[in-house]
Structure 1
């Protein structure tokens, strides 16, 4: 018997209606001229806005000539696959390295090891020590990582306390386990502390198993929402009254969530890898179905958002079309010093080797896309997070001699 969800959202056969204002915008058409004729020192021309079926093309937004000149500094070197960077108290940065399973603290250009977690982190393929979240007020740190439990691999979220000097971890606790893993492919995993509640959001991958994204009793291919300390399902989750794993589910139908970012209005947005097409940025709606259903088997020829499925699927706010650029981490840009980039979503690209700035209006409609030339040619870029002064922190992911970069407007 299928449990009845608490609120309006329902299981896949009767999923919530899509947000009609959302646009799926293709980067494949490179002949567009949103910013034609503007100085290339400010930004490269943005791609054309080619709408998906049923969408309306958004008009061009602000002039890219107002965009600031960007300064890029290296604040940490000699890293290998740094997956995430988060700011901690006292100007410190905390960095995770996927394959080394190492947590580092960076301060004033010097790196030291906070913890070597190889004994507790399972590393394989795309899975290892992944996303971090830091609560500076309580010196609490969360990490998402591969793990082994009773001889089986999984992805889990673990919480630690950090001492006042940020030199030692203690009070280890598993917040949530049982996120599926197979070979290490499509392991996710992005963490986000909700500013407006005690929730921790967890973006997961489908582990390359076709049935996971739309199976509400699998934690794979989802955005999950749990209490950040107890790991309990949040009481206002769409299926919180149900038994089983679906009580943790906030949204479903995802392929491989790589980014989560919360806008100033409280809305949460996800970034995920497409297959051979359609990387996506999605505005998340509680209980929403985002339409990835690669069955039978693992059929990657299906659309990222398949509107032929039963029920209603949420349309992407932005989609790369073909080719993909392998979008990853993201952060909302904030501060008048950013000029016309203030209020945009900065999205890192691995294959695309750049940071893309996307402007959405208050209804989630894409207005323009800017690709600053200063943020291209830096190699594969994994994470973008915000420092407290508004600067952006970016990790490269080239596998050797990787860096943490600090991007600030001059």
Structure 2
């Protein structure tokens, strides 16, 4: 197995508990504001020379797993900066935006040693469960299959909510009507139990669909009050941050951005597509953190106690290139990854990288 080392003292995570763009509360669109990063908060590189990192999942011991999109490999990032390939997930069929995408760690990992991955096969996108005993990776066991796949709009983020259910963000894979079709798993946020069964309190009995009308969701995060937020790629006009309501219809492809039309949930924040292409999302230090691909920046959006959002702040614009994933660590840091080797970026020395910011 391949081994890389990027030794930095800062990696001491302590766990105490275009025309059709692809990855590219006020009634009016939010006006974005570019601000400088707070003094003393320059990011530190904690991993380098990665191959299109996509999913990043923290383990209870403070180390992390990293999914590499195109190779299908999962790397184990140690506290001293070592990264070692623990295995390649079989059946990954990477093409365009698809491949090995999101990762999540079981809430019961201490007893079940299970991780979850979202991947593209020759036939579909799917969610699989795998055992990881700290040394080697087990065989994948599918728990959700039949998610539409393509070379664009594959979604791919997976995350466990506060109630222990697994949320799965999907795209419409380039077939717009799927987003409004309740029988399709494409263009949705799905909610399932860790074994793949459907929770009894989902909006429609027997269906994993939690919300619909999405174009391509790649970010999921809960705030301290349990509200679920999601980032979504627009087509030509507006990228979005949405507050997710069970059973909510977010309008695609009938609308893009705020429409005010009955039956559709408007985004809480919207940007022009050149400012964002929002992928990963995390909540930390009272704010949402959004990784922007085409926008090549990290967005910080303050969250009020009532769920209202403050003015979005643009950080590190153009400094690190395309940004893909954001992770909130238990010790208060924010990790974010570059995506400059995904075929649409301009790789710098050391790319792709994971960086750590202390807000």
Q: Aligned pairs, how many?
A: 323
Unaligned runs of 5+ in 2: 1-24, 342-346
Tell me the residue number matched to 2:16: none
Tell me the residue number matched to 2:170: 204
1:215-364 counterparts in 2 under 5 A?
215-228=181-194, 230-240=195-205, 242=206, 247-293=207-253, 303-304=256-257, 306-308=259-261, 311-321=262-272, 323-333=274-284, 342-364=285-307
C-alpha displacement at 1:304, in angstroms?
Answer: 4.1
Mapped partners of 1:202, 1:263: distance in 2: 17
Deviations 1:210-255 (A, max 9, x none): 1100100000000000001x20111100002x5xxxx110000000
Q: Is the 8 A contact 1:292 1:306 kept in 2?
A: no
Q: Which TM-score applies when normalising by structure 2? A: 0.84
1:161 equivalenced with 2:127 (yes/no) = no
CA, structure 1 residues 22+77, in 2 after alignment: closer, same or farther (shift >3 Å)? same
C-alpha displacement at 1:314, in angstroms?
Answer: 0.5
C-alpha displacement at 1:72, in angstroms?
Answer: 1.4
Deviations 1:175-215 (A, max 9, x none): 10100013x210111111012x2310001011010110010
CA, structure 1 residues 213+307, in 2 after alignment: closer, same or farther (shift >3 Å)? farther
CA, structure 1 residues 171+124, in 2 after alignment: closer, same or farther (shift >3 Å)? closer
Query: Who wins on radius of gyration, i.e. which is larger?
Result: 1
Mapped partners of 1:223, 1:290: distance in 2: 11
Deviations 1:93-145 (A, max 9, x none): 1101111111000111111001112x311111000000100134332110001
C-alpha displacement at 1:303, in angstroms?
Answer: 2.6
Q: Secondary structure at the match of 1:316?
A: coil
CA, structure 1 residues 290+305, in 2 after alignment: closer, same or farther (shift >3 Å)? farther
Mapped partners of 1:322, 1:74: distance in 2: 28
Q: Is the 8 A contact 2:234 2:273 kept in 1?
A: no
C-alpha displacement at 1:321, in angstroms?
Answer: 3.2
C-alpha displacement at 1:376, in angstroms?
Answer: 4.8
1:53-64 counterparts in 2 under 5 A?
none
Deviations 1:139-158 (A, max 9, x none): 2110001013xxxx210000
C-alpha displacement at 1:90, in angstroms?
Answer: 2.5
Q: Is the 8 A contact 2:176 2:215 kept in 1?
A: no
Q: Cα RMSD between the aligned structures?
A: 2.0
Mapped partners of 1:368, 1:288: distance in 2: 25
> RCO (CA 8 Å, sep 6+): is it higher in 1 or 2?
1
Q: Is the 8 A contact 2:104 2:115 kept in 1?
A: yes
Mapped partners of 1:120, 1:22: distance in 2: 46
C-alpha displacement at 1:162, in angstroms?
Answer: 0.9
Q: Is the 8 A contact 1:96 1:102 kept in 2?
A: yes
C-alpha displacement at 1:169, in angstroms?
Answer: 1.7
C-alpha displacement at 1:325, in angstroms?
Answer: 1.8
C-alpha displacement at 1:25, in angstroms?
Answer: 3.0
1:403 equivalenced with 2:353 (yes/no) = yes
